[in-house]
Structure formats: C-alpha cells, structure tokens
Amino acid sequence: MVSLCICFPGGTFVTTRHGVKQLDELLQGEEVLTLTKQSQKWTQFYTWGHIQRDLIAEFVQVKVKGGKELQISEEHLLFVEGKNGKRVAKNAGRVVIGDKLYYFDEDSQCTELLAVEEIGKVQAKGVYAPFTMNGDFLANRFAVSCYANVSNCKVAHAALSPLRTWYKVRPEKEDLLSKEGIHSYAEKLMKFRELITTSPFARKVVTNK
C-alpha cells in the first residue's frame, strides 16, 4: 500500500511576494519565503505533491512559546536544532517537548530557535503538499521541508530533480485549480520505493545484517 503525503492543512500560512496567504490560496509560480542556513530567500512554488481540498485529516500540532503553532502530518519533515547546533530534518511525529524549531520573525527579520512546549493531535480540513524549487519553505513561519515519508531531505530533493527541470522548461502551466490527489510523478516514486524495499533481495539484505 502506498502511504499518502498529507503534509499541511489548507489554513497553513505562507509568505509570498504579494503578502501572507493560506496554502489553499497559493498560485502556481508564486515565490514563497524559506530559510537558508544563513538567511531567508525566495523560492518558487511549482506544483502540488498532494492536494485534496475537502479531505478531513489528522495532523500533529506543535506549539512553542508565545502560542505560535504548526499543524503538520506526522511523517512530514520539519527542521530542528541538532547536535552541535546543526539544522537537521526530523519527522513531525518524532518531535518531542524541548526540541527547538526554526522560526522566522518577520517583524525583526531574524531567525529564532523556539522550544516545543506542547504536542497534540488535531483534525483539520484540506491536504496540501507544496513542492518548491528549493525543497523547503516557511509554514506558519516555521522552517519545513517539502517532503514526507522519507528520512533524508537531500535524497528526496534529488529524486524530484527531473520534475523540477520539467516545470522549468515547459512553456505552459498546469491547471492547479482543478487538480486533486497525489502528483503522478510522486506517486510513481512512492511505488518504486515500495517495490524496492519489499523485494526478495531487499528482505535478504536485511535478514543477513
């Protein structure tokens, strides 16, 4: 069975060149804000990895100091402070109280590390998994990856390289307003991964470790 990339509810906020928008208002080709290791930058939103506007789904809700919060699916990657102060990706379902998340304060234009104070589960409407050229973005001003159901952002981003190239060179744009479901390219990658990990050879390698 192929697992779904649920990711974020439609009410999640992103910062665009034209101001703050909800994910369910985002238009193809818009630039959204993200964070590099040193500062912030703009990256283009080019398509949905998964979108189902009316689906009610369960999300992990993480809250930090000041009541700031993020709703995100448990298998989705967000960025936390790791050992030696390095930024690392972590599945939202594995986040624990005390983990420090990267948060961009647009008033001060500074990146802050905010400790998680509360973790819960909520249900919300809409399933939105945006793909950006940089492979990440700011969701409710928290630094998050575009990818889920993986353990390595760099590998996932490399696997999407042909798709990004396709969107760069094609002259016409998709009709994202009528799009629903998982992107066909992402779905094929998920099926290929499942085929590899469940093959007799893969099981033999695991058994022999």
Q: Which tens digits make up the pLDDT trace of 164-197?
A: 999 988 867 677 767 888 888 877 776 755 654 4
Is 209's pLDDT higher than 90?
no
Residue 130 half-sphere exposure toward CB, CA atoms < 13 A: 32
H or E stretch covering 55? strand 40-64
6 inside domain: no
2 inside domain: no
| CA 81, 93, 185, 17 torsion-angle sign | negative
Distances (CA, A) of 152 to 76, 78, 79, 195, 199: 11, 11, 12, 19, 21
Q: Directed axis angle between helix 161-169 and helix 184-197, to 10°?
A: 160
For 65-98, the pLDDT digits (tens) are: 889 999 999 999 999 999 888 999 999 999 999 9
115 inside domain: yes
Q: What is the pTM of this model?
A: 0.87
3 inside domain: no
8 inside domain: no
Query: How far is residue 104's CA from residue 208's CA, in Å, rounded to a whole number?
Result: 46
| CA 19, 91, 28, 56 torsion-angle sign | negative
Contact yes or no for 73/6 (Cβ under 8 A) = yes
145 inside domain: yes
Query: How far is residue 111's CA from residue 96's CA, in Å, rounded to a whole number?
Result: 21
- Token pair recorded at residue 93: 């379902």
- Token pair recorded at residue 63: 């809250």
The whole-number pLDDT of residue 165 equals: 93
4 inside domain: no
Q: How many domains does the chain have?
A: 1
CATH number for 130: 2.170.16.10
Strand residue runs (E) in 65-177: 69-72, 76-81, 87-91, 100-105, 110-132, 136-139, 142-148
Query: How far is residue 88's CA from residue 80's CA, in Å, rounded to a whole number?
Result: 6
1 inside domain: no
The whole-number pLDDT of residue 193 equals: 57
The residue range of the domain holding 170 is 13-208
Q: DSSP letters along 10-54, please?
A: TT-EEEETTEEEEGGG--TT-EEEEE-SSSEEEEEEEEEEEEEEE
